[in-house]
Amino acid sequence: MKIIQIGTGGWGKNHTRILSQLGVLSAICDADLKKSKEYGEKYSVNYYDSLDELLKSEEFDGAFVVTPTSTHTQIAKKLLEAKKHVFVEKPMTYKSEDGEVLVKLAEKNKVILTCGYIERFNPAVDVVKKYVKEKKFGDLVMLEFHRENRMPLHIKDVGIIYDTSVHDIDTANWLFDDMPHVVFARAGKIRHEHEDFASIMLGYKDDKVAIISSNWITPKKLRKFNAVCTDAIISSDFITQEITIEKDEDNETIQNEKQEPLFLEIKSFLGAIEGKNEHIVKSQEAVNVTKIAEAALLSSLKGIPIYLDLK
């Protein structure tokens, strides 16, 4: 199998490392030729500063798009038109209508299109998903997410909702196995061009709710969530992958064997290309996350709840 990667900045260097480790990285493309050359030489693969040139010169099976959000649509479209399997880092597109176009193009050309909602592959989330599915602690009623950190330096074109909150939006949808019908949000900016703090409430059927709080204001890195079930509260740490279960006065702590979620996510995509029945984020699910993010921004702007009817 041959896999190429477009974009090597910020988060992308981790994809390059893992793809090389798995022995499938065949070429790199970055608009910054100096950076492209650096990674091409480091991993002994061909390198380009033009996707068009790469498409003319390379034979490959799939591609990772790890570039700024504003460039995702144009790049993914070229790859899908070339009938390549495509993994796009989150969010899949800036505008949901562009995402719908990509979904149809992937279906037309019978190729895989997925998106990097990495927390699905975090053992701390996977265990909670199993508990919820088995109803081990009763029904899941409420989810509470909390993320805080300084703004990543490589993020230039979006705010915290598109960069950070989308992870928790997708995780909430996955854990509830449902899509919200209403979104209410408040967001603002203190230190950055785009919004750098946000609180989002997602309403699901049967009065179930997810509350997502994110900020780029505080210096401490924190990524946690609580799953409130009828018989217990399950608290998970995205970073340490530790889980605590609180039921009545009995607390239990579960320490998973720590694994790298990105490694698991990439292996899953490669397995899907090989035809294995792998768990990957469906392209329409990724579009729905963008629609919810759009609704959150609109809700904050207008100060009203936004009602949705998602597929």
Amino acid in position 83: K
pLDDT (tens digit, 9 = 90+) per residue, 37-81?
999 999 999 999 999 999 999 999 999 999 999 999 999 999 999
Residues 185-209: what's their mean pLDDT?
93
Other CB atoms within 10 Å distance of the CB of residue 223: 21
* Amino acid 4: pLDDT: 99
CB 213 within 8 A of CB 223: no
Instruction: Write the burial class of residue 295 (CB in 10 Å: 0-12 exposed, 13-18 middle, 19+ buried).
Output: buried
Q: Does 154 score more than 80 pLDDT?
A: no
Q: Is 246 helix (H, G, I), strand (E, B) or coil?
A: strand
3-state secondary structure of 83: coil
Lowest mean per-residue pLDDT among 71-75, 153-157, 236-240, 301-305: 153-157
Residue 289 CA to residue 295 CA, distance in Å, equals: 10
Model confidence at 220, pLDDT cuts 50, 70, 90, reads confident
Residue 197 has what pLDDT? 95
Does the structure show a pLDDT above 80 at 193? Answer: no
Q: What value does the mean pLDDT take over residues 166-189? A: 98
Asked if residue 279 has pLDDT above 90, the reply is no
pLDDT greater than 90 at residue 255: no
pLDDT of residue 257: 84
Q: Please check whether residue 299 is in contact with residue 199, taking contact to mean a CB–CB distance below 8 angstroms.
A: no
CATH architecture of the domain 119-258+281-307 equals 2-Layer Sandwich (3.30)
pLDDT at residue 93 is higher than 80? yes
Domain boundaries, the chain: 3-116, 119-258+281-307
Q: Is 3.30.1380.10 the CATH classification of the domain at 3-116?
A: no
pLDDT band at 152 (very low <50, low <70, confident <90, very high): low
Please state the rounded mean pLDDT for residues 291-303. 98
Average pLDDT over the chain reads: 95
What percent of the chain is predicted at pLDDT more than 70? Answer: 98
pLDDT of res. 311: 81
